[in-house]
Amino acid sequence: MYETFLELKTDFEKIQDTIKVTLEGGGSRTGLMAIESHSADIGLSSFPFDLTETLGTGHNVSEQVVAYDAIVLITNQHNPITALSDEQVQAIYTGKTYDWEQLGGEKGLISPLIRDENSGTQRFFEDHFAVHELAKTAEVVDHNSEIVAKVSGNKHCIGFIGFAYFTESVHNLLLHTKDSTPEGSYVAPTHRNLKNGSYPLKRGLRVYFRQGDDPAVDAFLKYLQTDRAHMIIESYGLIAAK
């Protein structure tokens, strides 16, 4: 989300000269906590937090979905595994499956990559695959681009990234379609499958804010709904929420 919003910020400041936007990274939970503490006006998040559960009652925080993307599981291009079931992904990331040979691949210890605890991508991934305790071999990597680099350079790595960060230097894994049986069909993370709802790791990218708190915030939120902003969002491989 950061790179997309960096360009949105630049464009917003280009079309008007009274409001300046300061953008910082840190992860989805960091953004929401900054809204709660009034240290930020808008928090970016790739995870749909339960606001009442996280902030308590009377929080006065609202959300607006601005785009959709997906989490993509990636492996090295020389890894022969092309698809994984939900159970296989869970087994890898909990450490129950630790060698690619157990999945029909070539012998070699699996090196799973994860994001840090503030990452909305990490939270979404753990919730979807019911990963309650991570494998001790899991390595924390800070950024999507770093995960791509590590996976492309290590035949035994597996990681997950945002849809917009996928490159041809790695291989994307096929996953079960929604509500499919273990023997059911598998789908690739494509724009078509995101739009028709068959790819299971589709997610909304959202902003958190305090409703009516600041005219400048309202102006930026309205800008995010314009065709101009949608063009920028979709230039990053995302699907604009319209």
- State the Cα–Cα distance between residues 183 and 203, nearest whole angstrom: 25
pLDDT score at 59 = 86
Whether residue 88 contacts residue 76, with contact meaning beta carbons closer than 8 Å, is answered with no
Whether residue 67 contacts residue 240, with contact meaning beta carbons closer than 8 Å, is answered with yes
pLDDT score at 211 = 82
Whether residue 110 contacts residue 100, with contact meaning beta carbons closer than 8 Å, is answered with yes
pLDDT score at 180 = 56
- Domains detected in the chain: 2-67+202-240 (3.40.190.10), 69-195 (3.40.190.10)
**Crossing angle between the packed helical segments 2-15 and 215-223, to the nearest 10 degrees:** 110
- State the Cα–Cα distance between residues 30 and 43, nearest whole angstrom: 8
- Alpha helix positions (H), 154-226: 191-195, 215-223
pLDDT score at 177 = 83
* pLDDT, averaged in runs of 10, over the chain (242 residues): 92 95 84 88 89 86 92 97 95 98 96 92 93 96 94 97 91 83 77 89 92 88 96 92 88
Neighbours of 114 (CB within 10 A): 21
Whether residue 65 contacts residue 203, with contact meaning beta carbons closer than 8 Å, is answered with no
Strands 202-210 and 42-45 turn out to be antiparallel
Whether residue 33 contacts residue 47, with contact meaning beta carbons closer than 8 Å, is answered with no
DSSP classification of residue 174: B
CA nearest to 105, candidates 156, 169, 170: 156
DSSP classification of residue 58: T
- State the Cα–Cα distance between residues 135 and 90, nearest whole angstrom: 10
Quote the tokens at residue 186: 């598998």
pLDDT score at 24 = 86
Residue type, 111: S
Quote the tokens at residue 230: 């949608």
**Exposed, middle or buried, 68 (CB in 10 Å: 0-12/13-18/19+)?**
middle
Task: Give the predicted TM-score (pTM) of the model.
Answer: 0.82
Q: Quick one: the chain helix, strand, coil %, rounded to 5?
A: 35, 20, 45
Q: Please give the C-alpha separations between residue 89 and each of 3, 121, 201, in angstroms, as whole numbers.
A: 28, 15, 13
